[in-house]
Each structure stands twice: as C-alpha cells, then as structure tokens.
C-alpha cells in the first residue's frame, strides 16, 4: 500500500474515533441540560437520542466527503500534513455543530422560561427621584398628566 492509503486509513480511524468520543460525551453531559431545557425527562432523552443520530450523520458524512485528497502524497511528512489538515477541519465541524446546538437549545429554554413567568414585567410609570438627595421641586407650571 502506498502512503496515501495509509493516510486515508489513519484519517478515518482518528475521525471516527473522535466522532464517537465527542458524541458520547455530549450525550452523557448534555442530558442534564436537555432535562432543564424541556422540563420533561422522557422528552429530553428522546431529543438527546435524536441529536446523537443527527450528530453522527452530519459528522460522518462530512468525514467521508472530505476524505478525498486530489494531490499526490509523496512521503510520510506530506501525509501527516494532509492528515492534520483533514482532522483539524473535522474538529472545527464538531465544534461548530456543538455551539450551534447549545445556542439553539438555550434560546428555546429562555423562551420556555419566559412563557412560564407568572407576571409579565410592568412598564415604567414615571420618573424615580434621584437617590440620596431631595426631590427636585416642580417649577411654576407642573407637567399635566
């Protein structure tokens, strides 16, 4: 086998291993967050499973699409350089997917908490007097209400 085939095998091994490790870590630690977001443990577990499946599909799809190297790989140092670029892009995709999910779920959680609030915020009625000093006297023509 030539150097390019070894690079592909190393790329697939590292990328698939990273994908599995990150998916397990996110699934295990993200379940607590999802239970808080949805306030229903069954729904949180179902969404957690769906997110893991989607994570695997997106990331492994990207790994397979990005595997092809159009240029020739002459020696081991070039293979390692290409391998580091490919694995680096996989890590960037993993990070982007993670931050997108956290952002979207955080927005959903804030909206749910806002809906559960018992009293809406009150609009301001008037001006508060400055703290620590006397209340300024109204001029000869106080404002009409």
Write the pLDDT tens digit of every residue in 24-36. 988 888 888 888 8
10 Å Cβ neighbour count for 56?
14
Pick the closest to residue 95 from 44, 12, 19, 9 (CA basis).
Answer: 19
| Chain position carrying tokens 């949805």 | 38
Query: What span, in angstroms and rounded, lies between the C-alpha atoms of 141 and 99?
Result: 57
State pTM to two decimals: 0.61
The answer to whether 53 and 125 are in contact (CB under 8 A) is no
Q: Is pLDDT of 120 > 70? A: no
10 Å Cβ neighbour count for 81?
12
Write the pLDDT tens digit of every residue in 21-69. 988 988 888 888 888 888 888 998 998 999 889 889 988 888 888 887 7
Write the pLDDT tens digit of every residue in 82-113. 888 888 888 888 788 788 878 888 888 888 77
């Amino acid at each position: 086998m030539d150097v390019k085939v070894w690079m592909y095998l190393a790329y697939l091994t590292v990328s698939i291993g990273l994908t599995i490790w990150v998916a397990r870590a996110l699934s295990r630690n993200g379940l607590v967050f999802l239970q808080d977001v949805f306030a229903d443990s069954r729904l949180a577990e179902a969404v957690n499973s769906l997110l893991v499946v989607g994570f695997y599909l997106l990331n492994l799809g990207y790994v397979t699409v990005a595997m092809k190297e159009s240029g020739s790989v002459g020696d081991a140092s070039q293979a390692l350089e290409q391998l580091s670029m490919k694995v680096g892009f996989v890590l960037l995709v993993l990070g982007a997917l993670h931050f997108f999910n956290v952002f979207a779920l955080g927005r959903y959680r804030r909206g749910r908490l806002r809906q559960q609030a018992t009293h809406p915020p009150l609009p301001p009625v008037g001006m508060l007097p400055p703290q620590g000093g006397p209340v300024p006297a109204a001029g000869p023509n106080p404002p009409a209400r």
